[in-house]
Structure 1
Amino acid sequence: MSDDTEQIRTLVERWAQAVHRGNLDTVVADHAEDIVMFDVPPPYEGVRGMAAYREVWPPFFQWQAQGASFDIEELRVTAGADVAFAHALLRCGTPQELDTRPGLRLRLTLGLRKEADRWIVAHEHHSFPDLSGTDPDAA
């Protein structure tokens, strides 16, 4: 595994742990000022810029405080010289939600760029599969 790949894995794992703990400063630490994020809840046109990115996290932290999980189960990283992407599956939900749908996973995709020898997240996308009429645990 390349040093860049390992640096990115560490960055993503540190971010996920900070999300779980509700530590906003660490959540935003490795993100670009011009971050673009597409998230599960509105706004559906995305969140653009660091100020807007910071604003979306406190309501999620409140939900998370109900005992919800936010755990990386699978993480893959592809790194070039100055751009990279990572995709992951996360166990994300309250105990009740995960009891009802134990196979449900949050999908995470990150686009990163290297600035001054440091990897930062420039694009972040969270989604759940459209499960209308399907069983997420069947397959």
Structure 2
Amino acid sequence: MNDERSIRDLITRWADAVHTGNIDSVLAEHDSEIVMFDVPPPYRGIRGIDEYRGSWPPFFEFQRQGALFEIVELDVTAGDDVAFAWALLRCGTPEEFEKNPDNRLRLTIGLCKRDGRWVVTHEHHSFCLTD
């Protein structure tokens, strides 16, 4: 399997794990020193795997209320030992999509190859500001 396909599969597994609330699978293939800039605070971002783990329970609760979390577009660029990917995801409740069907979560992921496998070292999640 080539690097681009491996990364696509990694991101797809991660998104599926987020949607189902499987914290062990969400954390899999993430660096212990991950930095994540997310939609909610803290403004300095999330630093390290323990903070990353702690950031997910409120989102899982949101998911249990019927929210969607699905990749609609994904692009991967892979070098020999560094890669990045961006994606657009449908992330929200059916009621939110009734009001704004085009709304998308924007995701950027940075990865490094460690011991022959790709690990996520950075995530950035954002939404467009609306009026």
TM class by shorter chain equals over 0.9
Measured on the aligned residues, the alpha-carbon RMSD in Å equals 0.8
SS in 2 for 1:119: strand
Amino acid at match of 1:49: G
> Which stretches in structure 1 are left out of the alignment for 5+ residues?
133-139
Is residue 94 of structure 1 aligned with residue 59 of structure 2?
A: no
Is residue 9 of structure 1 aligned with residue 12 of structure 2?
A: no
Q: Whole-Å Cα distance in 2 between the matches of residues 131 and 8 of structure 1?
A: 31
Superposition deviation, residue 41 in structure 1: 0.5
> Which stretches in structure 2 are left out of the alignment for 5+ residues?
none
Query: Aligned runs of 1:1-139 on 2, under 5 Å?
Result: 3-132=2-131
Q: Whole-Å Cα distance in 2 between the matches of residues 21 and 30 of structure 1?
A: 17
Deviations 1:40-96 (A, max 9, x none): 011111000000000000110001100000000000000000000000000000111
Deviations 1:16-61 (A, max 9, x none): 0000000000000010000000000111110000000000001100
Q: Whole-Å Cα distance in 2 between the matches of residues 100 and 66 of structure 1?
A: 17
Q: Whole-Å Cα distance in 2 between the matches of residues 98 and 16 of structure 1?
A: 19
Deviations 1:85-124 (A, max 9, x none): 0000000001111111100000000000000001000000
Q: Which runs of 4+ in 1 moved over 2 A?
A: none
SS in 1 for 2:124: strand
SS in 1 for 2:32: strand
* Equivalent residues, number: 131
Q: Whole-Å Cα distance in 1 between the matches of residues 64 and 126 of structure 2?
A: 21
Identical amino acids, percent of aligned pairs: 61
